[in-house]
Structure 1
Amino acid sequence: MHTIVLATQKGGSGKSTLAIGLALAARQAGFSVRLIETDPQGTLSNWQRRRNDAEPVVEPIYHAADIEPRLKMLAESGLQLAIIDTAAGLSAATTAAIRHSDLCLIPSRPAVADIEATTSTLSVARAWKRPFSFVLNQTPIRGQRIDNAADTLAEEAALDLTEVVARPLIVMRNDHQDSLAVGLGVSEFAPNAKSTEEIRGLWRWIANRLDLSATATNLLIDEVMSTADVVLHATDALAQDKAASLAS
């Protein structure tokens, strides 16, 4: 199982919306997903109550000591992906989530205050030697501010820009909030829109970063083999019926 954590000091960065969007994109790519909510504000739980589909399950975990054993149980159950949405600021639960993550995503709007607020989260990821990437979220469609923000984040992390800033950038679009309001992911709400294209692109970037392509391939192979077995059994049954009919 792989664990992705969305964390940052500043509120309003879009962690919950990104967590939901990525969970649905991963499910549509063939992965089993659990959303874990450590934010008492309950954005994910509220979203699930508005939702008609039971999947993905949203599981609230508010105590830091519960995170590691729960992730272990989920991994042993065969779950492939856990996505953890954390509260704004730093807490024991957020630190524990980052500590046990395979990738810490740090969302930030392309504004100085938001970029400065990522420092404490970055420090925790580095302290536990966890992989991390910034996600430039709620960006304008175009403008110099985006490039400046990306460059600043790369300087802050002292790493190559291609490694530290996830792609594509997520543009501020109404689809994200509109889908949240009706209990959907953006890829369900507007499957052919630019917003969905960006979220799916971000999921593919993450999957490549975590080397999840092999898992997706195995799932596809299993699905094809299962379908082939069904067809084979159906063909055998028809042949037997035909033989019985001729014999009679």
Structure 2
Amino acid sequence: MHTIVLATQKGGSGKSTLAISLALAAKKAGHNVRLIDADPQGTLSNWRKRRVDAEPIVETIDTVQDIEPRLRALRDSGVTLTIIDAAGGVSSARTAAIRHADLCLIPARPTTADIEATASTLSLVRAWSKPFAFVLNQVPSRGRRIDDAAETLADEAAIDLIEVLARPFIVMRNDHQDALSAGLAVSEYAPTSKSTEEIRRLWNWIEARLGVDASAGVVATSPFAGLHLPIRAEQPAFIL
């Protein structure tokens, strides 16, 4: 089983919506997926209450002590992918979630405040030597702000962004929030939309990063399997 943790210091990054979208993309790709809501705001849990379909199951974890045994139980039950929506801010629960991650995704909007707020999460991820990637989320469809955000991330993290910036960026569109309100993922709400295509491509990027065979949920014989850095990917077409 692989565990992906979405963590960020600042609220409003679209972390929970992204977790839902990726869970449904992974499910469609053949994974047995479980979502864990470890954020006191309860966005995933509230989404689940509005949802008609039984899958994916959303579990709530309230204490640090519950994380490790719950992940072990999920692995033993045949779950191939668990996505944890970690609490924002600094907390022992967020630390524990990151400690058990196979990949930590750090969503950020392309604003100075959001990017500066990734510093504490990045420090924690590095302290545990965990693979990570930034996900630029809720970005405008075009404009200089995207490039500025990428450059600022590089300065903040002192890294070569081409190795740690997930692709494609996720453009801000109403169907993400409309899907959340309806108890759906964007791929269910607008299956032929650009938003769905971006999420699908993002999941493909993540899956290659993890080196996982989607249909079997096992490590693939890929040249990227076992790497500690995300793979290189093409530039999104909408960047100016």
TM-score in terms of structure 1 length: 0.85
Q: Secondary structure at the match of 1:40?
A: coil
Structure 2 counterpart of 1:175: 175
Structure 2 counterpart of 1:2: 2
Structure 2 counterpart of 1:81: 81
Measure the CA separation in 2 of the matches of 1:218 and 1:47.
Answer: 28
The alpha-carbon deviation at position 118 of structure 1 amounts to 0.4
Contact 1:154 1:164 in 2 (8 A): no
Contact 1:7 1:88 in 2 (8 A): yes
Measure the CA separation in 2 of the matches of 1:26 and 1:89.
Answer: 27
Structure 2 counterpart of 1:44: 44
Contact 1:64 1:93 in 2 (8 A): yes
Closer, same or farther: CA 75–218 of 1 in aligned 2, 3 Å: closer
User: Which amino acid is the alignment partner of residue 169 of structure 2?
Assistant: L
Deviations 1:35-56 (A, max 9, x none): 0001121111111111111100
Measure the CA separation in 2 of the matches of 1:87 and 1:102.
Answer: 17
The alpha-carbon deviation at position 218 of structure 1 amounts to 3.6
| Sequence identity (%) | 70
Please show how residues 182-193 of structure 1 align to structure 2 within 5 Å.
Answer: 182-193=182-193
Any stretches of 5+ residues in structure 2 without a counterpart? 218-240
Structure 2 counterpart of 1:147: 147
List, as ranges, runs of 4+ consecutive aligned residues in structure 1 with deviation greater than 6 Å.
Answer: none
1:216 to 208, 211, 214: 214
The alpha-carbon deviation at position 87 of structure 1 amounts to 2.1
Structure 2 counterpart of 1:201: 201
Structure 2 counterpart of 1:114: 114
The alpha-carbon deviation at position 160 of structure 1 amounts to 2.1
The alpha-carbon deviation at position 105 of structure 1 amounts to 0.4
Contact 1:153 1:165 in 2 (8 A): no
Equivalent residue pairs, number: 217
Quote the RMSD (CA, aligned, Å). Answer: 1.0
Measure the CA separation in 2 of the matches of 1:218 and 1:135.
Answer: 26
User: Which amino acid is the alignment partner of residue 46 of structure 1?
Assistant: N
Structure 2 counterpart of 1:159: 159
User: Which amino acid is the alignment partner of residue 216 of structure 1?
Assistant: A
Bigger radius of gyration: 1
Any stretches of 5+ residues in structure 1 without a counterpart? 220-248
Measure the CA separation in 2 of the matches of 1:103 and 1:203.
Answer: 13
Measure the CA separation in 2 of the matches of 1:59 and 1:218.
Answer: 23
Measure the CA separation in 2 of the matches of 1:164 and 1:62.
Answer: 30
Q: Which has the higher helix share?
A: 1
The alpha-carbon deviation at position 86 of structure 1 amounts to 1.5
